[in-house]
């Protein structure tokens, strides 16, 4: 019988079936070993209130109740399968968390699963996050996640004709923003170089650059070129200041 | 009424409204935070009288202290990059009230949008980013005010994880040390309260009302006929749900109070609708890369419901993603005969308009893709076309000066034009410009 007798009716993918059992257990244990896991998973009545109020459930084959149930049943096979595409439907709104009578946090479990999926560079995760590369480039190199130059109208034809008008003469419009450090086009506000350098240190020390290298080697190379260039600039500035 | 010995944990007595859950894990958080402070492991960045504190209630009846003055603006990348009238309206009010504040370039995003969207980070990195920003605020002496709802939710969560997990504190401390972001005696800096700008708006709503009565009405503005649908952001009230304002004046304390309370204080009509609790459909990754989900949810669960049930003139929001989702995903509804035009803006933008702020220079409505013009007419801002022309001429003037390389003239122009003295020129005693290298921008403009 395909699917799960208690409701997870998405057939286990052939790719998952081919993965050695030990590997699935390793990934499962990696999720469970996260210090947040014990704070996000408690008992479950199977009441389904989480799924009934889940926005993603309305448009995707996705159920927060299933996330909780599969963990409680220690269903290694299904959890592993979910970690490839299923979990990426979650909107991270945490409606499930506020509504659960047992204070389970399915959205929190999903974020642990996503983090482990990225760290293990699953192929499906790589494909899924490809279009997201522009945000990763921006946040890794500037410490800002969004800037005006990312909102090119060609990318957003569905946002309508006003969007096209808004982006004309963007540089002058940004300068007409009436507060200091808010006039930049390439960053959301004018980030200082020192601040960006501190961000690079955080990414390096916490293994985020390594995550990226596995996820998208080409993007990683582009990011590291920018990071190293800025770090050199900073070192030169420091040397100049010392000389003075 | 105090609980235990923590000065950060106080409850209203008597209860301000019916309370279902009187025992929150937040009790333990504030007790543990105080214990860590007493052990000398953390420094609690306290709210003082200088911050002109105002007390509000959370849903468990805890008294939350909201600082209203001398604030360090933790800006939102989505707001500054995409809805610049959002922060501009906050600064405009602070100027009007004569509050001192600091808006500087030494701030990063919280990086939580990226984390929720892509999973490409981890709790240690998120904690390091948060504590780095809090240390920067503490160093300046200005108390952090968080503009973004996701930053607010993420920071509340990170604080809880740090307070209850020694492993996390031990992991993040060496990184902060490397950055020079510990106190001189090696402590991490944790703020007494994590405060969202909508809580600030909530705390000063009566001052906003006074300004509306005095200046907005003098300009012929009247919001009493404006029908408003409130949308509360998931990351403010569903994430770490016991730490957001509730008030007896708003559904008798049974729904989040911020935004609703200020709209009510202004005298506009808050109209209830059946899907008030639903999210907007933003989804973090979805708004960019699964847009069919975002627009389907926004249209079918919110815009259509609001149009059909209550015929609102305006959706009032209090976060970056929700504002963007609702105002950008209306036009496309025409493709399926589901066009439900309605104005969309945050509580502070609507309040600024009501109090007479310039719709384009301050509230920057030109970034907005929704149908805001009928709302302006209804509010009595009937000269909005002239104001738009005025603003467009300003943009042309700026563009022309830059084209001609007249940078000195441009700087002179901004001296008069901007909301306050540039960050590098201050007279309040804090030496903001530390050195040429410290203030060097990442991008030269």
Stretch B9-21: mean pLDDT:
91
Tell me whether residue A5 is in a domain: no
Stretch A118-128: mean pLDDT:
95
The minimal CB distance from B80 to the residues A94, A188, A202 is found for: A188
Q: A230 and A201, same structural domain? A: yes
- What is the reported pLDDT for B26? 79
- What is the reported pLDDT for A14? 93
Dihedral of CA atoms A184, A190, A193, A197 in degrees, nearest 10, equals: -100
CATH number for the domain harbouring residue A74: 1.10.1060.10
Domain that holds residue B98: 25-198
Q: B161 and B87, same structural domain? A: yes
- What is the reported pLDDT for A10? 77
Q: B41 and B170, same structural domain? A: yes
Tell me whether residue A9 is in a domain: no
Q: How far is CA B209 from CA A70, A124, B65, B223, B356, in A?
A: 51, 52, 21, 11, 12
Is the pLDDT score of B3 beyond 90? Answer: no
Percent of chain A at pLDDT > 90 equals 84
- What is the reported pLDDT for A154? 86
> How many residues comprise chain A?
244
CATH number for the domain harbouring residue B268: 3.40.50.11810
Stretch B208-230: mean pLDDT:
98
Q: What is the pLDDT of residues B154-166, one digit of tens each?
A: 999 999 999 999 9
- Window 129-188 of B, Cβ < 8 Å to A: 129, 132, 153, 161, 165, 167-168, 174-175, 178-179, 181
User: B418 — contact with chain A (CB < 8 Å)?
Assistant: yes
Is the pLDDT score of B430 beyond 50? Answer: no
The sign of the torsion formed by the CA atoms of A179, A184, A187, A191 equals negative
Domain boundary among B336, B352, B386: B386
Is the pLDDT score of B434 beyond 50? Answer: no
Q: Do A196 and B238 count as a contact with CB atoms less than 8 A apart?
A: no
d(CA B102, CA B71): 6
Stretch A194-215: mean pLDDT:
97
Q: What is the pLDDT of residues B76-117, one digit of tens each?
A: 999 999 999 999 999 999 999 999 899 988 999 999 999 999
d(CA A190, CA B104): 8
Q: What's the whole-number average pLDDT of chain B? A: 93
Q: Please give the radius of gyration of chain A, using alpha carbons only, rounded to the nearest integer.
A: 22
- What is the reported pLDDT for B244? 97
- What is the reported pLDDT for A5? 53
**How many angstroms separate the CA of residue A1 from the nearest CA in chain B?**
31
Domain boundary among A120, A138, A165: A120
Q: B161 and B225, same structural domain? A: no
The minimal CB distance from A143 to the residues B108, B330, B399 is found for: B108
Q: Do A169 and B297 count as a contact with CB atoms less than 8 A apart?
A: no
Q: B319 and B227, same structural domain? A: yes
Q: B256 and B134, same structural domain? A: no
Angle between the A217-243 and A133-142 helix axes, to the nearest 10 degrees? Answer: 20
Provide ipTM, 2 decimals: 0.96
CA nearest B391 in A: which residue? A176
Q: B69 and B192, same structural domain? A: yes
- What is the reported pLDDT for B416? 85
Instruction: Grade residue B27 by pLDDT with cuts at 50, 70 and 90.
Output: confident
Domain boundary among B198, B233, B252: B198
Q: For residue B200, what are the contacts with CB-CB under 8 A and spacing of at least 6? A: B66, B67, B68, B71, B90, B145
Is the pLDDT score of B429 beyond 90? Answer: no
Q: A173 and A77, same structural domain? A: no
Picking from A118, A146, A166, A209 by the largest number of B CB atoms within 10 A of its own CB, the best residue to mutate is: A146
User: B63 — contact with chain A (CB < 8 Å)?
Assistant: no
Stretch B33-53: mean pLDDT:
97
- What is the reported pLDDT for B197? 98
Q: B268 and B185, same structural domain? A: no
User: B371 — contact with chain A (CB < 8 Å)?
Assistant: no
Q: B170 and B245, same structural domain? A: no
Tell me whether residue B272 is in a domain: yes
Tell me whether residue A6 is in a domain: no
Domain boundary among A120, A153, A172: A120
Q: A115 and A87, same structural domain? A: yes
Tell me whether residue A188 is in a domain: yes
Tell me whether residue B407 is in a domain: no
CATH number for the domain harbouring residue B92: 1.20.1050.140
Domain boundary among A59, A92, A120: A120
**How many angstroms separate the CA of residue A191 from the nearest CA in chain B?**
5
Structural domain count of chain B: 2
Structural domain count of chain A: 2
Q: Do B120 and A192 count as a contact with CB atoms less than 8 A apart?
A: no
Domain boundary among B363, B386, B409: B386
Instruction: Grade residue B444 by pLDDT with cuts at 50, 70 and 90.
Output: low
- Of B208, B227, B432, B236, the closest CA to residue B318 belongs to B236
Q: How far is CA B236 from CA A95, A124, B154, B265, B318, in A?
A: 11, 31, 9, 21, 9
Tell me whether residue A4 is in a domain: no
- Window 309-338 of B, Cβ < 8 Å to A: 328-332
Domain that holds residue A164: 129-243
Tell me whether residue B75 is in a domain: yes
Q: B273 and B232, same structural domain? A: yes
Tell me whether residue B445 is in a domain: no
Q: How far is CA B391 from CA A177, A209, B89, B396, B398, in A?
A: 11, 43, 16, 9, 11
The sign of the torsion formed by the CA atoms of B314, B320, B324, B325 equals negative
Q: A88 and A177, same structural domain? A: no
> In this predicted structure, which of A79-88, A137-146, A233-242, B120-129 has the lowest mean pLDDT?
A233-242
Tell me whether residue B331 is in a domain: yes
Is the pLDDT score of B426 beyond 80? Answer: no
- What is the reported pLDDT for A6? 54
d(CA B274, CA B295): 19
Residues of B within 8 A of A195 (CB-CB) are 105-108, 442
């Amino acid at each position: 019988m395909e699917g799960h007798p208690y409701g997870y009716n998405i057939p286990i993918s052939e790719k998952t079936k081919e993965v050695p059992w030990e590997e699935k257990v390793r990934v499962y244990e990696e999720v469970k070993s996260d210090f947040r896991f014990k704070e996000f998973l408690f008992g479950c009545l199977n009441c389904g209130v989480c799924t009934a109020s889940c926005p993603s459930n309305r448009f995707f084959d996705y159920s927060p109740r299933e996330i909780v149930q599969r963990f409680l049943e220690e269903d290694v096979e299904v959890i592993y399968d979910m970690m490839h595409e299923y979990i990426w439907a979650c909107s991270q709104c945490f409606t499930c968390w506020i509504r659960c009578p047992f204070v389970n946090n399915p959205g929190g479990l999903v974020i642990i699963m996503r983090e482990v999926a990225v760290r293990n560079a699953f192929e499906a995760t790589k494909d899924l996050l490809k279009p997201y590369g522009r945000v990763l480039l921006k946040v890794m190199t500037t410490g800002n996640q969004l800037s005006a130059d990312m909102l090119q109208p060609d990318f957003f034809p569905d946002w309508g004709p006003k969007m096209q008008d808004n982006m004309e003469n963007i540089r002058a419009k940004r300068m007409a923003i009436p507060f200091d450090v808010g006039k930049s086009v390439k960053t959301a506000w004018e980030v200082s170089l020192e601040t960006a350098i501190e961000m690079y240190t955080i990414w390096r020390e916490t293994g985020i650059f390594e995550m990226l290298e596995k996820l998208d080697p080409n993007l990683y190379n582009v990011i590291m070129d920018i990071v190293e260039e800025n770090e050199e600039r900073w070192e030169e500035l420091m040397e100049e200041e010392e000389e003075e | 009424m105090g609980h235990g010995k923590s000065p950060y944990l106080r409850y209203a007595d008597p209860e301000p409204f019916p309370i279902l859950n009187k025992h929150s894990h937040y009790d333990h958080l504030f007790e543990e935070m105080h214990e860590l402070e007493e052990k000398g492991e953390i420094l609690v960045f306290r709210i003082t009288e200088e911050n002109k504190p105002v007390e509000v209630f959370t849903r468990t009846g805890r008294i939350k202290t909201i600082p209203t003055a001398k604030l360090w603006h933790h800006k939102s990348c989505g707001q500054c990059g995409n809805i610049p009238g959002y922060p501009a309206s906050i600064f405009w009010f602070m100027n009007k009230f004569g509050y001192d504040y600091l808006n500087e370039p030494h701030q990063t995003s919280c990086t939580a949008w990226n984390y929720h969207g892509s999973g490409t980070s981890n709790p240690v990195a998120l904690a390091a980013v948060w504590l780095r920003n809090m240390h920067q605020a503490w160093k300046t002496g200005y108390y952090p005010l968080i503009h973004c709802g996701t930053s607010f939710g993420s920071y509340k969560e990170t604080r809880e994880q740090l307070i209850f997990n020694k492993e996390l504190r031990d992991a993040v401390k060496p990184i902060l040390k490397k950055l020079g972001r510990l106190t001189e005696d090696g402590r991490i800096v944790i703020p007494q309260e994590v405060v969202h700008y909508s809580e600030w708006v909530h705390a000063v709503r009566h001052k906003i009302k006074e300004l509306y009565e005095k200046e907005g009405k003098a300009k012929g503005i009247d919001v009493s006929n404006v029908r408003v649908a409130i949308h509360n952001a998931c990351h403010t009230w569903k994430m770490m749900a016991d730490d957001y304002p509730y008030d007896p004046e708003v559904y008798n304390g049974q729904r989040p109070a911020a935004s609703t309370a200020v709209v009510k204080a202004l005298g506009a009509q808050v109209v209830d609708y059946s899907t008030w609790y639903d999210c907007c459909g933003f989804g973090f990754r979805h708004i960019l890369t699964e847009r069919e989900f975002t627009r389907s949810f926004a249209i079918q669960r919110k815009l259509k419901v609001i149009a059909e049930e209550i015929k609102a003139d305006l959706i009032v929001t209090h976060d970056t993603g929700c504002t963007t989702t609702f105002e950008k995903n209306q036009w496309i509804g025409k493709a399926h005969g589901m066009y439900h035009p309605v104005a969309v803006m945050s509580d502070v933008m609507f309040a600024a308009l009501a109090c007479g702020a310039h719709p384009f220079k301050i509230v920057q409505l030109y970034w907005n893709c929704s149908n805001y013009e009928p709302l302006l007419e209804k509010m009595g801002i009937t000269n909005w076309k002239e104001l738009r022309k005025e603003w467009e001429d300003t943009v042309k003037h700026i563009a022309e000066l830059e084209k001609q390389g007249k940078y000195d003239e441009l700087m002179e122009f901004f001296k008069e034009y901007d909301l306050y003295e540039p960050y590098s020129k201050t007279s309040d005693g804090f030496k903001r410009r530390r050195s040429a290298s410290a203030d060097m921008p990442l991008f030269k403009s």
